[in-house]
Amino acid sequence: MNVSLFSLGIILLAALAANLPFFNQQLFALVPLSKVSGWVKPVWVRLIELLLLYFAVGGVARLLESSQGNAFSQGWEFYAITACVFLVLAYPGYVLRYLRKKHN
């Protein structure tokens, strides 16, 4: 496959994974956390989920990179920048969950 296609796929996967914790009340959109109606997933669970999804997307990107040839070693700067980009991609979900005004 084409390297630019892999890059686009990783960016789309990162955008979906970054917004996933904010659009549902389940852990990783699979595991129900509470049977009580009206229960809201705490923000700290959403942040831990966001962190784990960041590493999952990074692992997928690393596998795709190594399938194309040698995977390059990265320094802390790379991880700091990709974490910031992941947080920027999560912003729409955060806004819809916490900042949008609810109309009754």
**pLDDT more than 90, % of the chain:** 53
pTM: 0.86
24/61 Cα distance (integer angstroms) = 25
Rg (C-alpha) for the chain, rounded Å, is 16
User: How far, in Å, are 32, 56, 72, 102 from residue 13 at the CA level?
Assistant: 22, 10, 21, 29
- pLDDT at site 50: 95
Confidence of residue 104 (pLDDT cuts 50, 70, 90): low
Percent of the chain residues topping a pLDDT of 70: 96
> Distance between CA atoms of 85 and 81, rounded to whole angstroms?
6
